[in-house]
Structure 1
Amino acid sequence: MKFQMKENGFETTFEYGTIQISGNEEYGFRPYQLMVSSIAVCGGGVLRKILEKKRMTVTDMTVDADVTRDPESANKITKIHLHYTISGEGLSEDKVEKAMVLAQKNCPMAQTVIDSVELTESFTIV
């Protein structure tokens, strides 16, 4: 990956388009937003695959991320709580709970931060 400095941040181009990144959200995505997005989407994607391998159909999923940051320590991310709202067929509380544990263990983004960010998860089946 290559990031090019611009007047108000950095820019990079991937297969699906160009991303503007800046500490000021008037000019692009903030770095912490990209980090939280990576963790939430990775977790949701792995969870979906696991549920489908266990013969549960996922027709829709949203992931809400609640982020806690420490202003006394460079505003670092200290906690991320992910709440999955899942709809589909054959979903049971017990199986989804077990799949969430397995998903966190198999999500590379979660595993990257697990020793420095408190990562918790919950879910609702609709």
Structure 2
Amino acid sequence: MKTVVNWRGGVHFQADTDSGHTLDMDGAPSIGGENKGARPMEMVLAGLGGCSSIDVMTMLQKSRQDVKDCQVQIEAQRADAVPAIFTKIHMHFVVKGTGLNENHVKRAVQLSADKYCSVSIMLSKGGVEISHTYEIQEA
């Protein structure tokens, strides 16, 4: 896997991914950013949410759950000192569907966290405390 990151001026950078996508990143205005893209640490959280959501939805679909929508709300805390790494991350899954089995949802969230989501496992092995909750809504 490869990604090339190119400077676009100021603290704006553009990443070209191996899969053919382009992502813009920019720093905060306090360091000269112009809001031309997401902050790099926001992209880490987005990657975590995407990775885990793919796992959860794949498992729920395989278990024939009638999912209508899936959202993960992520909140993170960062260290006060430089480097301002993530110290805690909480992921709250909201799964909407018809007649969803709570055991399937719970197991999918746990398996993603403990076994399948590469981003989650990498971050937790790096010392980030990651917690998970879920709720099921009838749709």
Per the TM superposition, whether the score is higher than 0.5 is yes
2:55, 2:108 within 8 Å by CA — same for their partners in 1?
A: no
- Between Structure 1 and Structure 2, how many residues are aligned? 126
Q: CA deviation at 1:21?
A: 1.1
Q: CA deviation at 1:89?
A: 2.7
Greater relative CO (CA pairs within 8 A, separation 6+): 1
Write the deviation string for residues 23-71 of structure 1: whole angstroms up to 9, x where unpaired: 2262321011000000011111100111111121211011100111111
Task: Give the RMSD, CA atoms, in angstroms.
Answer: 1.7
TM-score, scaled to structure 2: 0.81
The answer for the alignment partner of 1:3 in structure 2 is 5
Q: CA deviation at 1:90?
A: 3.4
What is the identity percentage for the equivalent residue pairs of Structure 1 and Structure 2? 25
The answer for the alignment partner of 2:119 in structure 1 is 109
Q: How does 1:1-126 map to 2 (within 5 A)?
A: 1-8=3-10, 9-14=12-17, 17-24=21-28, 26-104=35-113, 105-115=115-125, 116-126=127-137
1:3, 1:11 within 8 Å by CA — same for their partners in 2?
A: yes
**Cα distance between partner residues in 2 of 1:20 and 1:102:** 31
> Which consecutive unaligned segments of at least 5 residues does structure 1 have?
none
Q: Secondary structure at the residue paired with 1:91?
A: coil
Runs of 4+ in 1 over 4 A off after TM superposition: 14-17
